[in-house]
Every structure is written in C-alpha cells, then in structure tokens.
Structure 1
C-alpha cells in the first residue's frame, strides 16, 4: 500500500505519542496543531539546562500533489507529538561529503525550538526575545538542526528557533507562470515565521521581539525577508553573516529554462507548463534533486544554480515582486558581517582536488563558472575578455596563487555585494546598520576539513558563526582562546538582539554605516588578537572594478541618497 503524506504524519504522531506519553517528565508545550513533548539539553560553559523541541511540523508534507506547491496548512494531530527526534533534512546537497551527494527527504518542513524556561513554569508578562536562524547552503543544501544554542543560551534568556525549507530544484523551480510561479523555498520560510508568530509564546517567546539571523544563503534569505511584502511584521531585527540578496549567487537566473531542462533530463514533455509539472510530480524526488548537477559545470560551480527569483506578474501574493535592488528594506536595526577570507571555501576545494593547473590552463573557460557570471554577460562574445580583465586586475603578470585567488573569490562572491547591501539599507532607513569583518582564525574552520588540507591563517566562509552557535561536529569550546572568542561573539549578538546596538565595550566606538552613500564605508574589524579596530574604505571588496565589468547583474545596483524607508 502506498503511504501518503497524511498517513505518514499520523503514523509518526502515533509512534511519538507512545514514546513520549511513557515519560511524564517530558517538557510539554501546546501549539495550534496539538501538544508536543520535548527533551532537555545543557549549555557548554555553565551547564545550564534548556528545553529542546525538535522536528515540529509547521506545514503539511510537500509530497505527491503538494510537490511544487506553496506550503499547505497543517492538520491538527491526536495525542502528543514526539519532539525529541530531529526531522530529516530537505533533499539537497550534502556538503559534509567529499562528492557532495544528495541527502534528506521530501517530507521535511519542520522546525526546532529551544527555550531556557519550561513553558509550564512561565508566567504571563515574562516573554523572551526570539532568535530565528535560517541555515545556509547556497539554497541547495543544509538543515536547521545543524545549529543549536549551547553558547547563546549560556547567560541569555532567548527562545531559539531553526527551520528547514525546500532546496534546489524542489524548492526553487519555476515555469515562469502561475502553474509553478517560483520561490517555494522562500515561501516555506515565511510559513515558518508565521508559525513562530502564532505559537512562540507557548515556549516563552515574545512574537513582537523576533530577530531573524542567517549565514550565507541564510543571510541572503534574511535580506530577502527584509524586502518581501510577504514577510512584513514577522520580525523586528536582522543579523546577516556572509550574505545578502545582492550577492550574484543568491539571485538565480534563467530558472524557467533550467526547470524545462530538468524536465528533459527526467524524460518529461516540455510543451506546456502543466505537462512539465504533472510529469515531474511523478518522478522520484531524489532524481529531481540530483538533476541540479547538470548546471554545475566545474568543481560543482556555479554552486547555486537554483534559488530565489522574481515571480511572474499576476501571481499573488508574490514573495519577490521585483529584483532585490529595486525593493526598499523594512526599517529595522541590522547587524551584518563578512569573514576576512570568505573565498577560501572555494580555494580550498581547488587545492584539495588538485585543480590549480586545470584552472590556469583553462582560465577563460572555467572562470565564468567559478565566479558565476557565465549567464550574466551583456554580450556573450565578451566572456573571454572579462576573464582576461579579471586575471590582469588581480594577478597582473604574476602566476596564480592561493592568496590572490582567495581575494578574488572573496571580493566577487561576498565583499562588494554584502557591503553594498549594507550601504543601501543604511541610506534608505532610519534604523542603524552595523558592519564588521571577522578576522580571527581559531582551532577549527566551518568549511575547511583538515583531513584534506591545512587551513593555515585563512578565516574562511562561515568561520564566524561557530563562535555564536554550536555547529555539528565543531567544538571551539574545547580550548581557551576559542572559548574567549565565543564569549565575545555571543555578547555582540546578545546585546544587538536585546537593544539593536552591538556591544564591544568601551575600547572602540562602533559607528554604524553612513547614511550618505558617498561617505567611506565604516566597519569594525575583529582581529586575530581579539581586538576591535575601526576602519573606513571607499572601495570595499573592489566594488569599482566589479561594477565596471559588462555584467547585467550590476545594472540595477545603484545606491540612492534619498531617505525613504518602509516601516514594518
């Protein structure tokens, strides 16, 4: 007998009821779909107990006829939901594996809630700030449960939430019309934020004091929520680490054509949108997820072939009604950052796969894929010329080097686009935007596996986040210097979450990004010595060079001097 999504949901609930009802000590909470029972965890420094509720469904499983549809309402369950076991990741890339295979399941729309106070012990009027973390993974992989608050909750009363959302083809395919509009993965995020607003008080959280945070694609997601009409009123602060909606990789191009190509790969007719969607609903979900490799031409680059894009006119509501650069962000305090050597996450892959000579020999062919501008050139015949211009700017007459490739990738992928997003938000809003560059390299690295190569002194993409949130498999709390940085970063986050102003003590004044885009870009650098240095730059990330290239992605990035903000 074929098991439907509803049947699976009921069976899981039934088994969970048996398991959780056996223990009267399990912490309980009641949400709008029913009662749940969670577990207990402990912080690393003080050993403080907190309560965890894992794998809570926030929408119906997006399977069968629900595949490629916006998230559907969840039906109430009977009994007590077992919230002690993490849910599966959404089908996507496994960045933990050497070959970047596919892991996860299609039934994946779940979230996790962590709270330092037992819901049954809370009193009215004592609601806590809420922190919602959106995982990264290039919109192609990752899962919420990989991040937990063992550091953040050590001395702070926050309710912490992580979420899953559909990824890759299953989350971002579109036929360019009302049949399959676009952005179902982002609509999943909105549904999760709406669930949080309705239910977070049951865990002691204040629905009117929500900070949304994210790393990489998660940071870009946060920026998208800041400009999406569907996310209005769902948060009041934002933290973006190593990403923005202005990053070229975070806005997908030609998604309609890519979706049609996926249909061809899987043997589906492409004569109409209806036939594409109907046929793809009959294909194995894993095969659909695997098809994305077709668009990753060199060392799994470009690494984000499917992601957010503008929905067609006539679809309502639209998560993204226009390109990001034309939309004004909500007027909320913002904390943004990049790491010192963002690009090492890609450079390390080139090293580990002995691909440096390959890149050097085939520079004009491979660079458009590595730097993801193959489809954003105003004139196709300029592709080789752009590759030559980039090589000349960064290397001159010198041979390729790890240091310079890392700088090139860092500027292209993160530096100019995250800083420009910060300047644009600051120039249009009254609330402050704070920016820092993270330059501390500790014992561990988020993306760089020491099994394959040494990280050296590089502070790579994602390295900052592991000092605020506990990331699976990484233990910076096991040594004194990293533990010191954990306390520093947690304090920055905690103070910003509570007040909208990050605290770094009295040694250095952290000035927000100027509201006049003509001013130098102001930021704080967190150094290897764990000090804070105030800096100003007029060309952060070599923006002037990148914006001089004939890439269509730059057509709309222009910073306005007018103050024109939108309230939440």
Structure 2
C-alpha cells in the first residue's frame, strides 16, 4: 500500500500542471508564484510588475529603467496616492505604476492566450488593482476568471484624484494623467505578454464605473489605434455626465485655495501647486460629501475629478470621437439599480412626469423610491451607455457591438425587496467570487458567475460572447445600427432573456425632450 501511495505521489508530481518559472520582460526577469486550482490546473500569479517609472507630478508616465537580478513578483504594490474611503487621511504612494498578471496553466505551458486587462473603478478618486479584500483575496483577484475562461487576466494601477486628473484646461496642466497611465500599462502588456503565454494581437480591456468610462476613453483616443482589439464597459462610458470635467480651472482654483496656493496670476498659482506636498494636494482633492448630501445638488458635484478634453489624448468631445473606436469590438451594459446609491444625492424637480405618469393619486412609498432610483440609473448610466452603443454601431467597420442589462437581486442585507443589482454588484460574479469563497454564496450565484465568465471570456477570444470554448445558456445577438437587442443577465438566462430596445422611451426622453429644455447654469466657482 505504501509503495502505491509513493508511486501515485511520483506520478502526480510528474503529471502536475506546467509552471512559467522565471519570465524575461523588457525591464528584467520576473518570477511569480504558482497556485493550484484543481487536478493538473494551476494559475501562475505575478504581482507588482512595474510598467513605468515613478511618475513625476502631473507628468506623463515614463519607461521603467529596469532592474538587475530576478524580481520576485509575489506581493501587491502600493496603490496610487489617494484619500481613504472616509477621507480622513491618505493612503498609497507616488511609486505606484505596477500591474499584476494571472496566467492559467494545464499540463503544457499555455501559449497564444487571449488577454484581458482590467481598469478599476472608484470615481477617478479611489481604487487600486488589488482593491477591496473579500475573505483574504482581492475583489479583482484574477485566478478564477483566468482558470475558468482560459484567458490571461491583467489588473493595473493608475493615478487618481488630484495627482491623476487635476487640470487647468490648457497646456500648463493638461490633465488626464491617469488615462496616460492606463495607456502605458496596456502598451506594456502588448509588448511583453507573449513571454507570459499571451497573444499580443488579442487584448481586451474591461472596467467598471470610472474604469468603464476609462475603457471608453481609451477606445476613443487616437493613441489606441492597433493597441488592443476589444473592450467591455460595465456601468459607465465616456458620455456619462460624471465622466468629463467641463470646467477644470474651477476645481484647480479650489485645490489651490485649500493648499495655500491661490494667486490671481494663474502661472504663479500652478508653480506653487507643483511645489506643494503630494499628500496635502491629495487631501485637498477630497469630496465635501456631507455638504453635498445636506444641500440640494447633483452627483456630478461629488465626482469632481475626471478626464478632460485636452486636445491630445482626448482631442474632442467624446461623442465626436467614435470613428476612432470603429475597429474595436465593444460590449457594454449597466446594472438595473446603478443609480440607487446616488438617489439620495440628487434632487429633481418638475420635469419627471415621464416617470411619474403611472403613479396614480396615492403611490406607495416603494414605487416612489424605485422611480427615483430609475431616474438616476437612466441619467447617470443607462442612457449614456445606450447612446455610446448606438454611436459605436453607427461607426463600426466590421466590429461587433453588444448590449446587456444586469439585474440580479442585490446581496446587500437589509435592502427592500424591490432592489435589484446595485452599482458594482456585477464584479463579484465576473471575478468568480462564488467559486473562490463558496460558503457565502448559493448555487444560483455560481450559475450566474459561470455564465458571466463564459460570455466575457468568449467575447475576449472571438469578439462574440456566444462563441468560444465556454458554453453559454443562450446566444447573445449583436446590437446593430437598426436592431437593438440586449441580454438580461441574472441566474436564470433563457431565450426570453433576449429583448429589444432597452428602455427606449426613456432614452428618447433624455436625448430629445430633456436635452432641449432650458437649463439653469450654475455659477462656476471663481474667486
């Protein structure tokens, strides 16, 4: 019996999954760690590989000088300098331009795999490539998605807040530094991923919320031509009203005031800002959440830091740049309750008749609350996404377009029965958390996670979420110039999950009726 056990152990060892070991990159050699995922299946994980040098303050990222010896890539690096969630202090470092790579392995070394590069969300103010640990693992841990979808997952850091997106609106402080970081990371992946078993000609970028809008901006930038092949936006696009700063100088003056750099001469003010302490600058970029919640306002006042039209990376208004995205396959959608979280922030008046016409004389409180959540979802997420899909389909040169609505019931305890998918609730399923931490999920959550990983990774492989190695419950038809199907995603996907013309009456309302109403312009903060 002992001999059999020994022989079995020897066989198991010799037949175990392949390992990459030391990998040669442009900067030097790196070595990760192999994680067993099942019999003959592992995922090689490389954490904290630098894709650029420590960035200068409000400068574009520069190439990394490289290193000697073998870089042990086994630990996540610091997030980029940012305020904490409660905004009482800062965390992170200026030395933050690192990425993480997850490579699935079978008995033979993987080669020519599709590559998926993830851009995190966080209002362009917070976040990291290894954000929000759930029971020990990062929310964006790519092992499950890589292994189940047989793709390479890459997660990247980029600058956020004051250091990532402050802008004077002209050449003195052009802005978009966080977008340049993302571009540098995607470019590094294209140049180096072959050594990890990836196909540099089949890169998909995907992201959620501010990361989804970032994906959209990357598609629209002329600098991305030929850099990647496909893109997925989950709950955010460049056309979202919170995704673009329209008056960056007002925000720059506010930050300058907070750090003692206010000058009537703009050049002197910017010189002072450039000499200021990065931690102080980061704290100066915090949001006045309490003030905004207690006074009438809109959510755009909360999301102050975002990209700008700089005449360079973003050369024009995003709606005019979709010709640049014509070659990319595009999949985009929203969560059914994306706006619920923001419903307490905004105050709407009078113009909501389109939404209240079904109320009757004495609507229930739940109906009123859900209607407000719907208004926010449409305005901030759903309508801009539908317009982006339409513009992509209109400009497409042979590339595919796909639309979805994610409406799985919320898992947040204590919420009323009518609440479906909150903002960011899609991420746990895309990243396979119901498989990684099975004790806190039910079988229906694993079903949903399996479906989403299959659709997402099939899309990365072929440009069609229905075609690839992974079986899917139903075919997902493409969104075209004249036909607008969308897939409703939850744990029960059937043929009836495919519908047409998502909330088209409300899309028409926002794009035609509301946009033609006279607006009251708020006075921009100046002095």
Shorter-normalised TM range: 0.7 to 0.9
Within the candidate set 412, 416, 439, 2:407 is matched to 439
Show the counterpart of 2:94. 106
Show the counterpart of 2:427. 465
Is 2:281 the counterpart of 1:288?
yes
Is 2:513 the counterpart of 1:545?
no
Contact residue 151 and residue 468 of structure 1 kept, 8 A? no
Deviation, 1:80, is: 2.2
Contact residue 432 and residue 450 of structure 2 kept, 8 A? no
Map 1:353-432; keep pairs closer than 5 Å.
367=347, 387-395=348-356, 398=363, 401-429=368-396, 430-432=398-400
> Secondary structure of 1:542's match?
helix
> Secondary structure of 1:394's match?
helix
User: Structure 2 vs 1, CA of residues 107 and 276 (structure 1 numbering), >3 Å: closer, same or farther?
Assistant: farther
Is 2:294 the counterpart of 1:326?
no
Show the counterpart of 1:239. 232
Deviation, 1:310, is: 0.6
How far, CA to CA, are the matches of 1:471 and 1:553 in structure 2? 46
Deviation, 1:224, is: 1.0
Deviation, 1:203, is: 1.0
Show the counterpart of 2:184. 191
Is 2:448 the counterpart of 1:480?
no
Show the counterpart of 1:35. 29
> Secondary structure of 1:250's match?
coil
Deviation, 1:118, is: 9.7
CA deviations on 1:171-217 (whole Å, 9 max, x unpaired) are: 11112222211211100111111111111112111111101111111
How far, CA to CA, are the matches of 2:292 and 2:434 in structure 1? 28
Show the counterpart of 1:513. 479
Contact residue 175 and residue 310 of structure 2 kept, 8 A? yes
Within the candidate set 202, 219, 224, 1:226 is matched to 219
Contact residue 47 and residue 154 of structure 1 kept, 8 A? no
How far, CA to CA, are the matches of 1:178 and 1:325 in structure 2? 23
Q: TM-score, normalised by structure 2?
A: 0.81
**Over the residues paired in the alignment, what is the CA RMSD in angstroms?**
3.1
How far, CA to CA, are the matches of 1:345 and 1:492 in structure 2? 27
How far, CA to CA, are the matches of 2:59 and 2:208 in structure 1? 26
Tell me whether 269-278 or 148-157 shows the greater mean CA deviation. Answer: 269-278
CA deviations on 1:533-558 (whole Å, 9 max, x unpaired) are: 1212275371222232358999xxxx
Contact residue 117 and residue 154 of structure 2 kept, 8 A? yes
Q: TM-score, normalised by structure 1?
A: 0.76
User: Structure 2 vs 1, CA of residues 138 and 61 (structure 1 numbering), >3 Å: closer, same or farther?
Assistant: same
CA deviations on 1:305-361 (whole Å, 9 max, x unpaired) are: 11111114xxxxx110001001122322211121122112334xx4xxxxxxxx7xx
Tell me whether 253-262 or 269-278 shows the greater mean CA deviation. Answer: 269-278
Deviation, 1:248, is: 0.8
Deviation, 1:511, is: 2.1
How far, CA to CA, are the matches of 2:474 and 2:443 in structure 1? 24
User: Structure 2 vs 1, CA of residues 289 and 470 (structure 1 numbering), >3 Å: closer, same or farther?
Assistant: farther
| Runs (5+) with no aligned partner, structure 2 | 1-18, 132-139, 520-527
| Runs (5+) with no aligned partner, structure 1 | 1-24, 313-317, 351-358, 360-365, 368-386, 555-568
Is 2:76 the counterpart of 1:86?
yes
Question: How many pairs were matched up?
Answer: 472
How far, CA to CA, are the matches of 1:179 and 1:198 in structure 2? 31
Contact residue 338 and residue 437 of structure 1 kept, 8 A? yes
CA deviations on 1:410-461 (whole Å, 9 max, x unpaired) are: 111111110111111011103121111112226x3xxx5x4x7567642112
How far, CA to CA, are the matches of 2:500 and 2:83 in structure 1? 38
How far, CA to CA, are the matches of 2:51 and 2:417 in structure 1? 39
Show the counterpart of 1:303. 302
Contact residue 212 and residue 238 of structure 1 kept, 8 A? yes
Within the candidate set 437, 456, 459, 1:493 is matched to 456
Contact residue 435 and residue 446 of structure 2 kept, 8 A? no
Is 2:46 the counterpart of 1:56?
no
Within the candidate set 247, 267, 279, 2:272 is matched to 279
Is 2:340 the counterpart of 1:344?
yes
User: Structure 2 vs 1, CA of residues 220 and 541 (structure 1 numbering), >3 Å: closer, same or farther?
Assistant: farther
Map 1:95-134; keep pairs closer than 5 Å.
95=85, 102-117=90-105, 122=109, 126-134=111-119
